[in-house]
Amino acid sequence: MEKQFSVVGKRLPMVDAAAKVNGSAQFTDDLTFPGMLHGKLLRSPHPHAKILNIDVSKALRLPGVKGVVTGAEIPDRQYGIVPKARDEYALAKGKVRYIGDEVAAVCAIDPEIAEEAVDLIEVDYEVLPAVFNVQDSIKEGAPVIHEGVANNTSFAIRKEFGDVEKAFAESALVSEDSFYSQPVNHAPMEPHAAVAQYDPVRGQVVLWSSTQIPFFLRRNLSATLMIPESKVRVIKPKVGGGFGQKIDMFAKDFCAAWFAMKLGRPVKFVYERDEVFIVTRQRHPMHLTVKTGMAKDGRILAQQFLSYADGGAYNSTAPTMMALSCFFLMVPYHVPNLLYEGYHVYTNKPVGGAMRGHGIPQARFAVERQLDLMADRLNLDPADVRTKNSIKAGEPHPGGFVINTCGFAESVQLAAEAIGWKEKRGKLPFGRGVGMGGASFPSGVTNMSHISSGAVVQVGQDGGVNVLTGAADIGQGAETVIAQIVAEVLGVSLDDVRVTAADTGTTPLDPGTFGSGVTVRAGNAARIAAESVRKKLFECVADELEANPDDLVARDGVIFVTGSPEINITFPKALKAYQYKDLPMPLVGRASWMADTNEPTTLFTQPGNFSPNYSFMTQAAEVEVDTQTGKVKVLKMVTAHDCGRPINPMLVEGQLEGSIAGGMGQALYEDVITEKGQVMNPSFLDYGFPTTMEVPEMESIDIETDDPVGPFGAKEAGEGTQLSPAPAIVNAIYDAIGVNFNELPVTPEKILKALEEKKKQGV
Amino acid sequence: MTVFYRRLPKFDYVSPKTLSEAWELMQGTKGIDYQVFAGGTDVIPKLKRRQGQIPKCLIDIKGIQELDYIRYDANAGLAIGALASVYAVAHSCLVSEHHPALASAAGKIAAPQIQHRATVAGNICNAAPSADTAPALLVLDATVRCASVSGERSIPLKDFFTGPLQTALSDGEIVKEILVPRSSAGPSSCYFKLSPRRTLDLAVVGVAAFIRANNGKCDEIRIGLGSVGRTPLRAFSAESTLQNAKITEESIELAAKTAAEECWPRDSIRGSAAYRRAMVRVLVARAIKQCLSGKPLGTLC
């Protein structure tokens, strides 16, 4: 029997949509406090230099300035989101490693004075030789960016599954190709901001921050300020987008807290747009060489990867990023033999970090492009090659993944139909073409760092439901999804549910928004907490309804007996009955949830199930190339997507459509251009991500698979969709003009140059 | 770190309500720097970038209401007051009907919010090589009417741009209006802008064309180029190849090729010199054909 739901699976507006539209939603920069000060940061003008001396005396003398701090005064504690990769100081100690590195912070009575004071700080630098690309950085004798890190290589990973050499020998075709994926910026609409206030009585610092990870931020603040976690409270107001860029602690967080503690006054830092571009995070530029062995019929027999990620000046998420890049080469295709060798290399440039897809988009681009190349060489249809190689639910997986549900093959087929693959591929006039790319993504991680979420569901006398969750809604709708899950379990409407979230002082532990795990992890915690409330209520009303509690159903404000809806009691009456039985109010349920893990839970040494479940998708594009100007117009994009059962299809579509714009940016428009370490285009004018005017006709196809692990069968929908639009577009360009592009972005100039080359060769 | 956008520096700000008040203020501030501005969409970002010298005083002429107009007279032609916004010009039926190149160029500047604030006169006075309305006004043979306390004068637009961000305006002069003469050829002008995106971007190359043809012969032609030289340019050599010539694929191609050869593009993050040059060739040919087709491009009015 098909499951029926009243709230889950419905296209409901986000619970905070109205507040965002009418302007009453409070973002970090909207917060003001009496006596609040404003902070600004002095940043390095050099890509690599020793700090010999800092003279802050003139800045301190400027009227209105209340405090100045340099790296010399802060505790000698490095931070980073991955414990083994901590390499950053909130303010540089002795050395700067890229243009923009924080040297000192100022706070003053207004931002103008703070900015003026920053200019008055005098720093003596000894400029050091710098390196700006991976090739130079790993050379013997290259400048050392971090002491003790040989060849500037801060992380290396080598994994082998099966026997690659043997499989290559058995392959009908072995191709080796090199690819490059450029740095791109997340560019969230809301710049990074923080406000801190200190309570001297309780000895507690409260930080409101534009963050994706309140609890990790608390940990990093506690470590770097050297105060206990219990004395740090991090609150996440509304966040205007993150895409991974807000999963680190930044100087603004530390310095706001530092000044608040030292001065006893609230302090606010808001980054300017160019700071968001230069000193936060970007998607890692990555060089990848892929060698693939294929059977005559297109089956992948083996793949070998060599990747170099240009990490910029610090690690940020480096080990996780490299691991994701490696492991997720084993979905959505069955790769029986795989060898991955990857290096994270420091350079004197902006720092790479998590960004929607996190290390996988670069690898996916390489694989999806090469599949088309090899299909061509074997005279096979690239769509068929993808279907043929699809992993299947329930089959043993070479990496130890447990795939309970997989709609990948179906997604290829449906995306192909929707874009008109059979009629169009290879058959459109010169300049028009279609292409596709496939992908899969984890719904959070399991076998790493014991990540779990908690939830508390509380029902008051008036029937109002309050959910406490640590989940960090950054605009994707996490609070809405959690509210829908709780409303469905309790059989109440979405309006009855209020979510209190992401406050380390009041809400349960949650790792935050990353790895696309929120719906499955925090959603499951909320589901179980709500189920525990419902159980108490069912047990209370079972006698009255003369039924077994297990036979009761709660839906649409009524509790009834399965199969006999006429035997029922309304939710308010049930609550009243609960009170009249002298059972304690409020009704509370709580839960903590983490995915089953394989032991040992160390991603880097042992294979195992990476994630509670896996989403699958195919994106297909149709493009038109102006062969005189080289401009590409994306005419249509289709996404066929298996995210299990979507809790809110409208929010899922929002993710799919956003990912198309993001993928178009990566494929055609965006590039963080640096010259000798200086970012040249850190503005919305010069960094040309696609606008609504570029976005093509979009079609979303939902492939429902009822996943046994996800709440109500749900899987992730936020990040996976970002993996395949770029290769789909570049593959479509290949179909349109017969030119292979292995480097992103594919700009009009590159297209023209390639067409000229092609003409010259008389192809 | 190189400064891109900072908070505004300190300066005085005055807001005259009449031209004579403006002149008075300009004379009063003689000896110290002042900067006249209207929409401020170029002046304010420049100040935030600390580009050039910071003026001591900003004279905001937005309050001089008498300069806000778009007029058309069958004899005198089109007059665009100094305060006519880019949006108003882009959406004016008068402009679209008589000079489609100008309406289209104005409509391609930045985004609606900026178009409402920016003025066409300001776009010209900023004198950026990439100014979208400049190639259009060049091919429409526009003149700039300037006024100062000692009188008025007209400067042909082709003589107005003296260098990157430099104009022929003298100290104490304010642009009062831009005049576009009545065209004998009817609405046979157009503007093509090449940029990565359809909105917001500065032009990688901008090309405007005006043509009057009779029986397959070109009687009058003007070609304007943006973003391919120190100033917006007229492609005089290209024009002369087609002037009085028979219009054929070959002659159009020759004009396009000549335009590409006579411009002076440079390399920047927006595009290489070679690409820009090649695009001049493509767009000039397209623009000429567009003018000849007689088919109107979509208007915004």
Kindly list the residues from chain A whose CB atom is less than 8 angstroms away from the CB atom of residue B7: 111-112, 115
CB A716 within 8 A of CB A439: no
- On the question of pLDDT at A192 being above 60, the answer is yes
- On the question of pLDDT at B169 being above 60, the answer is yes
What's the mean pLDDT when you consider all of chain A?
Answer: 95
pLDDT for position A83:
85
- Residue whose tokens read 């290399």: A345
pLDDT for position B2:
64
Write the DSSP string, A685-741: TTS----TTT--EEEEEE-----SSSGGGB---SSGGGTSHHHHHHHHHHHHH----
pLDDT for position A595:
86
Residue of A nearest to B7 (CA): A112
Residue of A nearest to B270 (CA): A686
pLDDT digits (tens, 9 = 90+) for A501-525: 999 999 999 999 999 999 999 999 9
Taking an 8 Å cut-off on Cβ atoms, the answer to whether A684 and B200 are in contact is: yes
Is the residue at A538 inside a domain?
yes
Kindly list the residues from chain B whose CB atom is less than 8 angstroms away from the CB atom of residue A278: 1
Examine the fold and report which residue of A545, A570, A593 is the final residue of a domain before the chain moves on.
A593
Query: Nearest CA to CA, how far is B173 from chain A (Å)?
Result: 31
Query: Considering CB atoms only, which of A44, A273, A690 is closest to B1?
Result: A44
Query: Nearest CA to CA, how far is A280 from chain B (Å)?
Result: 14
Query: Considering CB atoms only, which of B202, B275, B283 is closest to A749?
Result: B275
Nearest-angstrom CA–CA distance, A27 and A236: 9
Query: Considering CB atoms only, which of A681, A682, A752 is closest to B278?
Result: A752
Kindly list the residues from chain A whose CB atom is less than 8 angstroms away from the CB atom of residue B277: none
Residues 6+ apart with CB under 8 A from A126: A49, A50, A52
pLDDT for position A600:
45
Nearest-angstrom CA–CA distance, A620 and A413: 11
Count other Cβ atoms within 10 Å, centred on residue A428.
Answer: 18
A and B: number of Cβ contacts within 8 A = 62
- Residue whose tokens read 């302007």: A23
pLDDT for position A399:
85
Q: What is the tally of structural domains in chain A?
A: 3
pLDDT for position A20:
96
Adjacency order of strands within the sheet including B205-214: B189-194, B205-214, B217-226, B233-234
In chain B the domains, ranked by start, together with CATH numbers, are: 12-60 (3.30.43.10), 65-180 (3.30.465.10), 189-293 (3.30.390.50)
**Above pLDDT 70, what percent of chain A?**
98
| pLDDT category of residue B28 using cuts at 50, 70 and 90 | confident
pLDDT for position A761:
87
How is residue A215 written in tokens?
């609890």
Is the residue at A154 inside a domain?
no
Q: Model's pTM, two decimal places?
A: 0.96
Query: Nearest CA to CA, how far is A99 from chain B (Å)?
Result: 5
Kindly list the residues from chain B whose CB atom is less than 8 angstroms away from the CB atom of residue A747: 196
pLDDT digits (tens, 9 = 90+) for A2-58: 468 999 999 999 999 999 999 999 999 999 999 999 999 999 999 999 999 999 999
The CA distances from residue B196 to A125, A689, B162, B192, in Å, are 39, 9, 28, 13
pLDDT digits (tens, 9 = 90+) for A554-609: 999 999 999 999 999 999 999 999 999 999 999 999 999 998 766 544 556 667 88
Query: Nearest CA to CA, how far is B229 from chain A (Å)?
Result: 19
Instruction: Assess whether A457 and A405 both reside in one domain.
Output: no
CB A491 within 8 A of CB A558: yes
Instruction: Assess whether A82 and A210 both reside in one domain.
Output: yes
Kindly list the residues from chain B whose CB atom is less than 8 angstroms away from the CB atom of residue A280: none
Nearest-angstrom CA–CA distance, A502 and A484: 17
Instruction: Assess whether A270 and A353 both reside in one domain.
Output: no
**Above pLDDT 90, what percent of chain B?**
86
Closest C-alpha among A574, A494, A493, A489 to residue A534: A489
| pLDDT category of residue B210 using cuts at 50, 70 and 90 | very high
Taking an 8 Å cut-off on Cβ atoms, the answer to whether A99 and B2 are in contact is: yes
Is the residue at A474 inside a domain?
yes
Instruction: Assess whether A579 and A679 both reside in one domain.
Output: no
Q: What is the ipTM of this complex?
A: 0.94
Write the DSSP string, A340-360: EEEEEEE-SSPPB---TTTTH
> Which of A81-85, A164-168, A563-567, A713-717 shows the lowest mean pLDDT across its residues?
A81-85
Kindly list the residues from chain B whose CB atom is less than 8 angstroms away from the CB atom of residue A749: 271-272, 275
The CA distances from residue A373 to A258, A633, A740, A749, in Å, are 55, 22, 8, 22
Residues 6+ apart with CB under 8 A from A528: A455, A589, A591, A593
Nearest-angstrom CA–CA distance, A214 and A237: 10
Q: Is the peptide bond before A565 cis (omega within 30 degrees of 0)?
A: no
CB A727 within 8 A of CB A660: no
Residues 6+ apart with CB under 8 A from A333: A300, A367, A386, A389, A390, A391, A438
**Above pLDDT 90, what percent of chain A?**
93
Nearest-angstrom CA–CA distance, B12 and B33: 11
Residue of B nearest to A279 (CA): B1
pLDDT for position B298:
67
Instruction: Assess whether A462 and A431 both reside in one domain.
Output: no
Instruction: Assess whether A400 and A483 both reside in one domain.
Output: no
Query: Considering CB atoms only, which of A100, A748, A752 is closest to B1?
Result: A100
Instruction: Assess whether A556 and A619 both reside in one domain.
Output: no
CATH code of residue A203: 3.90.1170.50
Is the residue at A295 inside a domain?
yes
Query: Considering CB atoms only, which of A100, A115, A685 is closest to B7?
Result: A115
Count other Cβ atoms within 10 Å, centred on residue B31.
Answer: 8
Is the residue at A174 inside a domain?
no
Mutate to test the interface with A, among B3, B4, B48 (most CBs of A within 10 A): B4
CB A175 within 8 A of CB A292: yes
Nearest-angstrom CA–CA distance, A701 and A416: 11
- On the question of pLDDT at B301 being above 80, the answer is no
Query: Considering CB atoms only, which of A688, A749, A752 is closest to B201?
Result: A688
pLDDT digits (tens, 9 = 90+) for B39-72: 999 999 999 988 888 999 999 999 999 999 999 9
Is the residue at A7 inside a domain?
no
CATH code of residue A339: 3.30.365.10
Instruction: Assess whether A433 and A543 both reside in one domain.
Output: no
Instruction: Assess whether A436 and A464 both reside in one domain.
Output: no
- Residue whose tokens read 């083996």: A302
pLDDT digits (tens, 9 = 90+) for A133-173: 999 999 999 999 999 999 999 999 999 999 999 999 999 99
Q: Is the peptide bond before A745 cis (omega within 30 degrees of 0)?
A: yes
CB A733 within 8 A of CB A623: yes
Adjacency order of strands within the sheet including B77-81: B70-73, B77-81, B174-180, B143-148, B151-156
Beta pairing partners, A701: A640
Kindly list the residues from chain A whose CB atom is less than 8 angstroms away from the CB atom of residue B282: 628-629
Radius of gyration of chain A (CA): 27
Is the residue at A514 inside a domain?
yes
Is the residue at A135 inside a domain?
no
Kindly list the residues from chain A whose CB atom is less than 8 angstroms away from the CB atom of residue B201: 685, 688
Instruction: Assess whether A508 and A439 both reside in one domain.
Output: no
Count other Cβ atoms within 10 Å, centred on residue A372.
Answer: 23
Given CB atoms, is A459 within the 8 Å cutoff of chain B? no
Task: Give the Cα-Cα-Cα angle A373, A377, A379 (nearest 5 degrees).
Answer: 110
- On the question of pLDDT at A65 being above 80, the answer is yes
Instruction: Assess whether A359 and A264 both reside in one domain.
Output: no
Taking an 8 Å cut-off on Cβ atoms, the answer to whether A690 and B197 are in contact is: yes
Nearest-angstrom CA–CA distance, B178 and B140: 11
pLDDT for position A763:
58
Residue A5 Cα to chain centre, angstroms: 29
Instruction: Assess whether A112 and A75 both reside in one domain.
Output: yes
pLDDT for position B6:
86
Nearest-angstrom CA–CA distance, A518 and A690: 28
Domain that holds residue A561: 17-24+452-593
